[in-house]
Amino acid sequence: MKLVTSLAVCLLGASSLFADSSLLTKAKKSGLEAIPATKTEIMKLIDDKNDPITDAKVELGKKLYFDPRLSKSNLISCNTCHNLALGGADGVPAAIGHGWTANPHHLNSPTVYNSVFFKAQFWDGRSPHLADQAQGPVQAGPEMAAPAPLVEQRINSIPTYVEEFKGAYGKDVKIDFEKITATIATFEKTLVTPSRFDDYLNGNEKALSDEEKKGLNKFIDKGCTSCHNGIALGGTMQPFQVAAQYKFTNVGDFKGDSNGMVKTPTLRNITETAPYFHNGQIWSLNEAVKEMGSVQLGIQISDADAAEIVTFLKALKGTKPEIVYPQLPESTIETEKPSFD
């Protein structure tokens, strides 16, 4: 009897192991990719041989990211809308910028975490990478409203910044708008958040609970990976409203790019980045999952199935890099004063 019981236990264990291995294979075949397990492997993905990531550039980029003097009013920094303490977003439906202006298209601020893995930046995908993307919000009237010459004047009028740029790039560096925003992008590249899901994809089959694995399986079977795939679980341009009309489509006037394509938001740290969708109209993650089923997949996702999927999505909350709020160099009498018009 003991032999039979032991044999049954062994068979059950083997069956469970096979099921885990099958799900892991299924996940990878569905296009899901892990953040690599080592810093060396991550650097291979995010570094640029033409502008290598260095500690000096990252530290300088961090200061610029948090510096509100890059805005016309001296009140708004990159961190205002992409708050690193709030999942890299701002927690409001539409971004608020210069003069307390809401985004004129009622667009929601996407997270900056893991944005280095996005194939396109902005909801309409108009920027191909972070260095280009960083230039937009700084200059945009409803955002930071600072023309490039103003940003250049302020940074070049601060001796400490000038010395830090020389330390990061060499004494002959030209501190222009492109170099300033590219340095911000270098910092943003490091905002990578590996999670237990990555541990699972990297081979640790115990990294996810049985309930999370069940949710992952449901996520794949329902077709969610058709858009939410790759390392970012999003970040690519996809058609929107494929099967039905989004119920809040008339909030704002955003219709996607010229082909009606919309950047798929990342699902990493998704529990921290409500409200959801491009116009920030849904606050419940369960409701967002059900809406996606209707709009994109043409299926009705039940409350029970949505709850299972959300259980998996919670496992995508990653470990954030430790960010120490920087002390910013002081302005000088030559530094252009703030303007509020």
Residues within the annotated binding site for heme c? 78, 81-82, 98, 224, 227-228, 292
> In the annotation, is 143 catalytic?
yes
Q: From the centroid of its chain, how far is CA 10?
A: 43
- Active-site position among 59, 143, 291, 322: 143
Other Cβ atoms within 10 Å of 42 Cβ, number: 18
Torsion sign (Cα): 269, 271, 274, 277: positive
Q: What are phi and psi of 204, to 5 degrees?
A: -90, 95
Cβ contact 337:75 at 8 Å: no
Give yes or no for a contact between 107 and 279, defined as CB atoms under 8 angstroms apart. Answer: yes
DSSP symbols for 299-323? ----HHHHHHHHHHHHTT--PPPP-
Q: Helices 303-314 & 285-292, crossing angle to 10 degrees?
A: 120
E-assigned strands of the chain?
Answer: 96-97, 101-102, 237-239, 261-263
Give strand pairing partners of 324: none
Could you write out the DSSP letters of every residue in 190-231?
A: T-----HHHHHHTT-TTSS-HHHHHHHHHHHHTTGGGTS-BT
Distance (Å, whole) CA 23 – CA 136: 41
Q: Which residues are catalytic?
A: 143
